[in-house]
Chains A and B, each alone.
Chain A
Amino acid sequence: MAAVSRGFHGRGRRDERLPPGQRDIGDGFPVLTAGPTPHTPLDEWDFVVQGQVDGLHRWTWEEFGALPHEPVTVDIHCVTSWSKFDTRWSGVPIDTLLEDVETAAEYVVAFSDGGYTTNLPLEDLTGGQAWVVDTYEDEPLAPEHGGPARLLVPHLYFWKSAKWVRGLALTSFDEPGFWETFGYHNYGDPWREQRYAGD
């Protein structure tokens, strides 16, 4: 009986971290890609904050690397229904990248090499909720997982964490991105199971 009780407790603790409709992928880390993997040379890479801002804010790879990084350990949730617990990253908080940016914008389009885009409310990128990460499990972020750098917004479905991210366009209007224009939910909260428009 005791063993059965421990089993139930163990499963209960794990399930508390699983949003509805998700399963624990364990050690796996599936690669989902909608196009060829870009391989932008680092001396051509930059990250920009543009749009409804006071001028262009731009960092080269070297300048980005010199910004204060912080470790992040989070659970991630893919809309295809896998979740992965305790993923370890290192990156620059979006708060840092927006520190000197004056804007009245309420929305952001993250854009990437290869043409991928995703849209988010600006308030979901600030307040310690999002990063541009360049390290995964103590190693430089691999190209198949979005390296050299990707967005990390763990409280939303993982398609919002744009791979190969190159910048943020701040706007006063909400502009649906690659999956959002294909019937996926505009916001994508895994805890409310917002997979598709209308969910």
Chain B
Amino acid sequence: MATTLDDLRDLFALDLTGAVLTCGGCGERTELHAHDLYPDAPALVVRCPSCTAVVLRFGTGGGRIRLDLSGTRLLTVTAPDPAGS
């Protein structure tokens, strides 16, 4: 079955703290919760613990939710129902 944009809701409905991010800078693979977090900036800034590059930015404000993953090469999450994949 073809993958559609509607399938994105499966990703964003998951708890991402156990997701593995591959850093776009150095290629290191690290679980999201093991990254260096900077929550006191105007938005949450998540940095690679290996090379300190920004891998993710997340912010809420002005009536919008923003997510920047341009510093992440790959985001991997275990599917909730592997049998259905």
Contact = CB atoms under 8 A, between A and B. Distances in A.
Bound pair: A and B?
yes
Interface of A: 30-36, 79-80, 115, 159, 179, 181-184, 195-196, 199
A179 B45 CA distance: 11
Interface in B29-44: 36, 38, 40-43
A159 B64 CA distance: 20
B66 interface: yes
Given A35-B52, A36-B52, A183 B38 contact: no
Contact of B43 (A33, A36, A182, A199): A182
B41 A184 contact: no
Interface string B1-31: 0000000000000000000000000000000
Contact of B42 (A31, A36, A79): A79
Q: Is the interface of A mostly helix, strand, loop or mixed?
A: loop
B52 to A, nearest CB: 6
A33 B38 contact: yes
Given A36-B36, A182-B68, A195-B62, 18 more contacts: A32-B42, A33-B38, A33-B41, A34-B42, A34-B45, A34-B54, A35-B45, A36-B52, A115-B54, A179-B42, A182-B57, A183-B59, A183-B62, A183-B64, A183-B66, A184-B42, A195-B61, A196-B62
